[in-house]
Amino acid sequence: MKKKLSVLLAGVMVCTLFTACSKEAANSDTAATENASAQESTTTETSTDETASAITIDFDNLATMALKDVKASDYVTLGQYDGITVEASLKEITDEDVTSYIENIKASNPPMVEVTDRAVQDGDTVNIDYVGKFADTLEAFDGGTAQGASLKIGSNSYIEGFESGLVGVEKGQTVDLNLTFPEDYGAENLAGKAVVFTVTVNSINTEAEDITDDWAAGLGLDGVTNLEELKKYALDTLNSNAKDEYDTTVENAVITTLSDSSTFSEAPQELVNRYIKQQDQMLEYRANLYSYYYGQQLSATDIVNMMMQSEGFTGTADEYLNSISTDTTNQYLMFQAIADELGIEVSEQEIDDYLKNAYESASSTGFSTYEEYKASLDLEVYREGLMAEKVVGYMVDHANVVEATSDSASN
């Protein structure tokens, strides 16, 4: 339920926590990396720029009202929400599933064996120290220094010539790589610049064929110290994922069934505007997230147009945002109407507990204290989200869940 229903809730919360994270990311040592995803970003921007529909909504000046300020039943005639019949099947995990899960772990974290009798070859993973300097001044530049960095030769994760320049280098050897950053490199102070990387190869490793207990123990997985425990970990994880998928299927089904059987009248535009403004926050968060991971900035218009394209929506960006916000409005009106009928409420303590858990679980925040963080939030967002979770929990608890047929499961 939380995975689906609280997407908006979590997104609005996370975007407030994201500020400090993005600042930390800007200071990380990434100047030597080419950032292969930058090409993906360029391709995406090109595909949206030619036919993009610009967002013209003045978010700051939208008049809004809260869900608590309306009588929900005035805008929705509820269908049956007790005893909804839905179909769902819990996936049975097989030995083949466990084997495949472990193979995927092996592919992303291959067992390594150190090589001591030869120089670096393509495909090796090397542990290196390096210092990057401008070629003309030999002054080290920011973000160009690292110690103990792991690099797979041939992965194209560093600028052109860096990885190939290490082929043939022996363990313990130090070499100078005379390279040039690409003209379109993300950092303007490095774009097109001639540089020298002084690199020391600390060790040379290659992939081993077989997995071992030591490899399993080195994965850092909770409770895993050998291969048998890894198999149990894989089985438990897959069963947990299957249960989550089953729960999500049931939750989505009861929501969809109720929505289809309910009748909605036009909600106040000020209420729709509330969710439009929340979409603006989500767009800002997604743009920051994209920049954080890929080093390229997307605009809100870029993101909306990609969403429109993915969903096959025809119309303007403004129309799209109004459409999805209207759907959100109707969903919350539906949930609130049920909550009113059943006497479901959310206490201030429940909101506070939720926010404290989120704040304490965050790796970093943009706030010095919890009180400062809480004061920055629209607490009604969290009341609505927690109310919705309670309502859907009620509907799921009272649903009639039957085993899905093979035909319905395939659909």
Return d(Cα 313, Cα 319) in angstroms, integer.
Answer: 10
Task: Give residue 227's pLDDT band: very low, low, confident or very high (50, 70, 90).
Answer: very high
Task: Give residue 362's pLDDT band: very low, low, confident or very high (50, 70, 90).
Answer: confident
pLDDT value at position 409?
Answer: 56
**Mean pLDDT (whole number) for 332-340:** 98
Cβ(262)–Cβ(4) below 8 Å? no
β-strands 85-88, 400-403: how paired? parallel
Task: Give residue 53's pLDDT band: very low, low, confident or very high (50, 70, 90).
Answer: confident
pLDDT value at position 19?
Answer: 40
pTM for the full predicted model: 0.74
pLDDT value at position 186?
Answer: 82
Per-residue pLDDT at 23 exceeds 60: no
pLDDT value at position 117?
Answer: 96
Looking at this protein, which amino acid is placed at residue 164?
S
Minimum mean pLDDT among 47-61, 151-165, 236-250: which range? Answer: 47-61
Residue 11 burial (C-beta neighbours within 10 Å; 0-12, 13-18, 19+): buried
Looking at this protein, which amino acid is placed at residue 344?
I
Give the mean pLDDT of the chain: 88
Domains of the chain: 2-78+262-410 (no CATH), 112-207 (3.10.50.40)
Cβ(143)–Cβ(185) below 8 Å? no
DSSP 102: H
Over pLDDT 90: what percentage of the chain? Answer: 78
Per-residue pLDDT at 223 exceeds 50: yes
- Give the distance, in angstroms, between the CA of residue 235 and the centroid of all CA atoms in the same chain: 24
Return d(Cα 37, Cα 186) in angstroms, integer.
Answer: 11
DSSP run (H or E) holding 309: helix 300-311
- How many helices (H) and strands (E) would you count in the chain? 13, 9
Task: Give residue 46's pLDDT band: very low, low, confident or very high (50, 70, 90).
Answer: very low
Look at residues 59, 107, 21 and name the one whose alpha carbon lies nearest to residue 293: 21
pLDDT value at position 15?
Answer: 53
Per-residue pLDDT at 5 exceeds 70: no
Per-residue pLDDT at 355 exceeds 50: yes
CA 5 → CA 207, 252, 335, 398, distances in Å?
Answer: 43, 9, 11, 18
Over pLDDT 70: what percentage of the chain? Answer: 86
DSSP 158: B
> Tokens standing for 386?
């927690």
The residue with greater pLDDT, 169 or 51, is 169
Task: Give residue 207's pLDDT band: very low, low, confident or very high (50, 70, 90).
Answer: very high
Cβ(130)–Cβ(146) below 8 Å? yes
The residue with greater pLDDT, 39 or 193, is 193
Per-residue pLDDT at 44 exceeds 50: no
> Tokens standing for 403?
């085993």
The residue with greater pLDDT, 166 or 49, is 166
The residue with greater pLDDT, 39 or 280, is 280
The string of pLDDT tens digits covering residues 250-299 is: 999 999 999 999 999 999 999 999 999 999 999 998 988 888 887 778 89
DSSP 263: E
The string of pLDDT tens digits covering residues 96-128 is: 999 999 999 999 999 999 999 999 999 999 999
Sign for the CA dihedral angle at 176, 182, 187, 188 comes to positive
> Tokens standing for 242?
């299957």
pLDDT value at position 405?
Answer: 78
pLDDT value at position 364?
Answer: 76
